[in-house]
Structure 1
């Protein structure tokens, strides 16, 4: 399964878990505009709960925000996980070269 499909499935799964609690709109299509609106709605929900000192599914909200951010980056053709993995490999090679000299 491609990285985009995995990220999309994660967003849909987390969305369905939180849909009732947060009164989220149905997620029929995935677009940049729809994801940005969903992200704003989640931030407003969390802010309102924090100000009113209400309990909510904080860990799932954070996971959903992260999944949406990841999907937005993938829509822009940027795979953050791949970039981080390649960055770490590049820095390890530089450290190895530095220890030889």
Structure 2
């Protein structure tokens, strides 16, 4: 599935940018292991929550994009492609209107 590879690449790029912006040691992501992906995803979520509570600087937009990419990847690995479902729904709506 090409979307999985594309999303993995996006996650890796955004994660590198995230790690660089926060100057933290990156956790290894094993893209073949859902638990590994979930663990890094959870650490990002927790870091964001802590920064919000402590009012410390945090790359909010980058974190949001990264969490979205992680969620997309996990859904794709479960066989759910929201982009495909959205396109399908839009096409169905367009054919009903036309």
The reply to whether TM is greater than 0.5 is yes
How many residues were matched structurally? 95
Structure 2 gaps of 5+ residues are none
> Which residue is equivalent to 1:6?
6
**Shift in Å at residue 9 of structure 1?**
0.1
* Residue 73 of structure 2 is aligned to residue 71 of structure 1: yes
User: Do the aligned partners of 1:4 and 1:74 also contact (CA within 8 Å) in 2?
Assistant: yes
**Shift in Å at residue 17 of structure 1?**
1.1
Structure 1 gaps of 5+ residues are 97-101
**TM-score when normalising by structure 2:** 0.87
Give SS of 1:56's match. coil
**TM-score when normalising by structure 1:** 0.85
Give SS of 2:56's match. coil
Moved over 6 A (4+): none
**Shift in Å at residue 49 of structure 1?**
0.4
